[in-house]
Structure 1
Amino acid sequence: MRAVTVTPGEPGSLRLVDDHPEPSSDEGAILVQALAVGVCGTDHEIVEGQYGEAPPGERDLVLGHESLGRVLEDPTGTLEPGDLVAGIVRHPDPVPCPNCAVGEWDMCRNGQYTEHGIKALPGFARERWRVQPRYAVGLDPALAEVGMLLEPASVVAKAWDHIDRIGTRAEWQPRSVLVTGAGPIGLLAALLASQRGLEVHVLDLATSGPKPALAAALGATYHTESVDELPFEPDVVVECTGAPVVVLDAMCKAAPTGIVCLTGVSTGGRTVDFDAGALNRTLVLENNVVFGSVNANRRHWDLAAEALARADQSWLASLITRRVPLDDYADAYRQGSEEIKTVLDFR
């Protein structure tokens, strides 16, 4: 079968293998026919050789962690042949740490987790893959064209789950949310905010392309000015850019008792002239919380599947700005300036 692979740590090693082995039954009882995989910044960084880890004893890594497939066989009876399914990316470490032991592998304490298409587990960018029942998430049939959005949606489902949990520390009635960054994570964060009935604001540099219209379709207000120029203080900030200046401004902008969730990953090596003392004073005196969030566990994947099923399917489809057939696989891993989500199509 065909599979898209890289040799981790070697830039320029991206290739389409025509004779990749069929998935081993050791990977899971459920056999899945791949329909599509989403491509994100993590994939670009792995292709560039920045990181990535092949399975033990292997040289190459199959890419793809944003999966969508259709069940071919499931002897466990968890799913039926023909069902839509996505595979959970992260698996718990073998020790396991206290969090992994209770199914919270997104909160792994020792870093020995594994991840499909990223760290020590083959990814989903292959014509057939297998998954264990506990890591198989069934999808509503309406998501046949957009189900690969489940992985990024699970990230923001976790973010909102933790925001809600932190909010219970005191009487808290949030009204407004600011989402910084209108990429897939940001727009999906805005979707979940709109489903909560909040006043949604989305901030991004783009003044053209699909982003302003997608935000407006959610009933959100779209901003292109800097965070510190905004004329309001949001109760919640979901930061999705990882840009150091935006991150710091977001921390300073939240309303008293506000919650700031950081989902964007910053690159190191950049120094910003910033008054850390003033930020500390604000956080302490206003009882604000800043926390980071990445990945998701099974509970969040299920929440994300419910959120996508409730969403306007045409809006979700508009997030996919480019679909690339498998034969043109290399084109899927080239970044475009105004793209939101690129999908590699196996159909």
Structure 2
Amino acid sequence: MGSVRAVSVTAGVPNSLRLEDDHPEPATEEGAILVEALAVGICGTDHEIIAGEFGIAQPGTDSLVMGHESLGRVLEDPTGTLQPGDLVAGIVRHPDPVPCTNCAVGEWDMCRNGQYTEHGIKMLPGFARDRWRVQPRFAVGLDPALTDVGMLLEPTSVVAKAWDHIERIGHRAEWKPQTVLVTGAGPVGLLAALLASQRGLVVHVLDRATSGPKPELVAALGATYHAVPVNQLDIEPDIVIEATGAPRVVLDVMCKAAPTGIVCLAGVSSGGRTMDFDAGALNRALVLENNVVFGSVNANRRHWDLAAQALARADRAWLGSLITRRVPVSGYAEAYTPTSDDIKVVLDFTA
């Protein structure tokens, strides 16, 4: 073996993305399970890292190997947790070393001191390399039928956590939700709609796109697609999952939820924008209608397992339709250059 190809950046340096042909083999300290990479998914966090706005280098170097939406096949596992040939993804976040009260019980997605580490994002090498290693407790086995779409597990885990927390909050009282509004039809929004449809709920998805694959993907779930402002919708959703991060949309969905409604903010705003808004009216509505607004990000092992189950139940063709471009590693620069028609772009290590 000797060396691997790896897509990396110099952390904090804009436009330093590169393909290394002689990156060292993954160190055994990274984990006992050796994995051959099949693909990595690309998302907005990757674009922020490439722009130098985000990302922390691996200790002892100024570099960071990219890739946190992983999919691979087990080459060897001396622990017996998985078998050679098994399909596997690696959990992105690792608990902080203190550990805080949440990390100590496996809830690293709720880390209280911010000292967690993350593959391809913060201090841990990512999965965009020919081979990588993972510890058994951070290795998630996947249904063999997910070979072409298993890199969707990471964004699905984020959505599975959002649904887990929505349901926990909902059971504060008698709760029989019927209608869900998802704002944003990117990967997170569409996967949120998928999990809503799997729950038998009436699903509405709002996005700006009026052409392209998004309306058809929503319709294929049996959901209703909207391309109008939130305040023009003639629905009063029991649950809202906000996946755009657009400040206007964030504020509008808080006002749109039904009494005792739950609004989950899953999109991250860039900040720096101000607007006139009646905060008093919002406060009055939230209090008098017993509404809840909360933020959700990342996922722990329980959510990754729930996500794997959700993908195994989903229509494979529908999942495959989320992937709008598959690019070989040799075309890495093209893969990491977003286009307006993208939903999910995948860097293919098998091509």
Query: TM-score range with shorter-chain normalisation?
Result: over 0.9
1-structure distance, mates of 2:329, 2:185: 27
Unpaired stretches in structure 1, ≥5 consecutive residues: none
| Partner Cα separation in structure 1 for residue 177 and residue 43 of structure 2 | 31
Q: Aligned to 2:23, what secondary structure does the other structure show?
A: coil
For 1:46, the aligned partner's letter is I
Q: CA deviation at 1:272?
A: 1.4
Aligned to 1:157: 160
Q: The residue matched to 1:233 in structure 2 has which SS?
A: coil
CA deviation profile, 1:243-294 (whole Å, cap 9, x unmatched):
0000000000000000000000001110011000000000000000000000
The separation in 1 between residues aligned to 2:152 and 2:52, in whole angstroms, is 25
1:63 and 2:42 matched:
no
Q: Which residue of 1 aligns with 2:273?
A: 270
Residues in 2 aligned to 1:75 and 1:58: alpha-carbon distance in whole angstroms: 29
The aligned residue for residue 133 of structure 2 is: 130
Structure 2 letter corresponding to 1:120: M
- 1:229 match: 232
1-structure distance, mates of 2:124, 2:235: 45
Count, aligned residues: 347
CA distance in 2, matches of 1:258, 1:236: 6
Q: Which residue of 1 aligns with 2:221?
A: 218
> Which residue, 52, 59, 62 being the options, matches 1:49?
52
Which residue is 1:302 aligned to? Answer: 305
**Aligned position for 1:179:** 182
Determine the structure 1 residue equivalent to 2:192.
189
CA shift, 1:338, in A, is 1.5
2:47 match: secondary structure: helix
Select 1:97's aligned residue among 95, 100, 104. Answer: 100
Q: Secondary structure at the match of 1:2?
A: strand
- Partner residue of 1:29 out of 32, 37, 46: 32
Of all paired residues, the percent bearing the same amino acid is 80
Q: Deviations over 1:1-45 (max 9, x none)?
A: 100000011112100000000000000000000000000000000
Please tell me whether residue 293 in structure 1 is matched to residue 306 in structure 2.
Answer: no
Displacement, 1:311?
Answer: 0.1
4+ long deviations beyond 4 Å: none
Structure 2 length as normaliser, TM-score? 0.99
> Following the alignment from structure 1 to structure 2, what is the Cα–Cα distance between the partners of residues 89 and 44?
17
SS of equivalent to 2:34: strand
Counterpart selection for 1:73 from 68, 71, 76: 76
Residues 33-82 of structure 1 deviation map (CA, whole Å, 9 limit, x = unaligned): 00000000000000011010111111100000000000000000000000
Which residue matches 1:242? Answer: 245
Measured after TM superposition, the shift of residue 299 of structure 1 is 0.1
Alpha-carbon RMSD:
0.4
Q: What are the Cα deviations for residues 188-229 of structure 1, in whole angstroms up to 9, with x where unaligned?
A: 000000000000000000000000000000000000111111
Matched, 1:13 2:16: yes
The residue identity in structure 1 corresponding to 2:309 is E
Segments of structure 2 that go 5 or more residues without pairing to the other structure are: none
Task: Answer yes or no: is 1:87 the counterpart of 2:110.
Answer: no
